[in-house]
Amino acid sequence: MKALLLTEPGKLEITELEKPAFGADEVLVKVAACGICGSDIHGFDGSTGRRIPPLVMGHEAAGTICEVGSSVTDFRIRDRVTFDSTISCGKCSFCQRGQVNLCDSRQVLGVSCGEYRRHGAFAELVVVPARILYRLPDELAMEHAALVEAVSVAVHAVRRSQLSRGETAVVVGTGMIGLLVVQVLKHFGCSRVLAVDQNERRLELARDLGADETFTADENDLLDRLWTANKGQELDHAFEVVGITATAQTAVHAVRRRGTVTLVGNLAPEVLLPLQAVVTRELSLYGTCASSGEYPECLELIASGAVQVAPLISATAPLEEGPVWFDRLFQGEPGLMKVVLKP
């Protein structure tokens, strides 16, 4: 099969690999679309230690089942499907509680971190356990379905925050996930959503997708401007969707006493936290990772138009152009958001 292979840090090649073998409880999916995730871009140069070559990356995907294992009964050949990026065991205490994203033995498609290697979906074919498959609504385009993983990250993050209808929030960072968080907050009844970023094009898109007001991150009086936009009050919730010290501190200082800060971004492995502000104001900090069962809800959100993914797709391209698009994204080309590759 044709695949986009990470052969060494920073180097991708189109190559031919053997058709992957699959087990009794697995299916073989013919990949129709696979999105390039920010974690792929941050990891393919070797800096994160989670993309060790040789590896086929890619975990945001959708396609059609072309073969099924002998014990698979719920899915058939030609079913249009997407799948969770997390391969959970289904047996540990976390899986039994429905917290599959915290599985003791979890693997992630398209990730190799030393503990395991799991080839992903930047290929014509990918093997997936049937237990993590989801059927697609008939009207949902494959390139849109491929983004359900990203939408599920946003939905999971908002649910972690314990948001109630009518409350207010600020989203710090309006990249792909931040823009989805903006939309999910509005859909879940957040009365006022503010957005912060350094990039005016992204802020413009945030306004188009539902943000009530947007703010440039390097404004000296940013916090005062946020509170003024919220009728002079601090925010109920903050969502940090970058993962560096500056944005984490903005999120902490933006919320009211007993407010919540949900940490979504993890660009830096460590950040400096204003501890006294957290402690003396009794803030609640929530970490959030991947998703745990939100896919059906998210497919419905996309299919209904409640969450729009089309405006986030900068380009769709054949798999053969993958190395070029990876380079453009890695270089931070202005205006690029999500690129979807089509094997």
Q: What is the pLDDT of residue 49?
A: 87
3-state secondary structure of 29: strand
Tens digits of per-residue pLDDT, 74-84? Answer: 999 999 999 99
Q: Which residues share a beta bridge with 80?
A: 64
Mean confidence (pLDDT) of the chain: 96
pLDDT of residue 85: 95
pLDDT at residue 290, rounded to an integer: 95
CA dist., res. 184 & res. 157, Å (int): 10
What are the structure tokens assigned to 101, written together?
């994203």
Q: Identify whether the C-beta of residue 41 lies closer than 8 Å to the C-beta of residue 329.
A: yes
Q: What is the DSSP string of 297-320?
A: HHHHHHHHTSS--GGGEEEEEEGG
Cα 227–Cα 243–Cα 97 angle in degrees, nearest 5 = 100
pLDDT (average), residues 95-100 = 95
Q: What is the tens place of the pLDDT at every residue in 30-48?
A: 999 999 999 999 888 988 8
Phi/psi-derived region of residue 288, left when phi > 0, alpha when psi is between -120 and 50, beta in every other case? beta
pLDDT in tens, 145-161: 999 999 999 999 999 99
Cα separation of 123 and 343, whole Å? 6
Confidence of residue 141 (pLDDT cuts 50, 70, 90): very high
- Residue range 185-220, pLDDT digits in tens: 999 999 999 999 999 999 999 999 999 999 999 888
- What pLDDT does 114 receive? 86
pLDDT score for 218: 87
pLDDT tens digits, 260-313: 999 999 888 899 999 999 999 999 999 999 999 999 999 999 999 999 999 999
Q: What percent of the chain has pLDDT over 90?
A: 94
> Average pLDDT for residues 60-83, to the nearest whole number?
97
How far is the C-alpha of 330 from the C-alpha of 325, rounded, in Å? 8
Q: Domains of the chain (ranges plus CATH)? A: 2-147+309-342 (3.90.180.10), 152-287 (3.40.50.720)
d(CA 48, CA 153): 20
pTM of the model: 0.96
**Residue at token pair 């769709």:** 316
Q: What is the mean pLDDT of residues 135-151?
A: 96
Which H or E run includes 186? helix 176-187
pLDDT of residue 219: 83
Q: Look-up: residue for tokens 């289904």?
A: 90
More confident residue, 12 or 335: 12
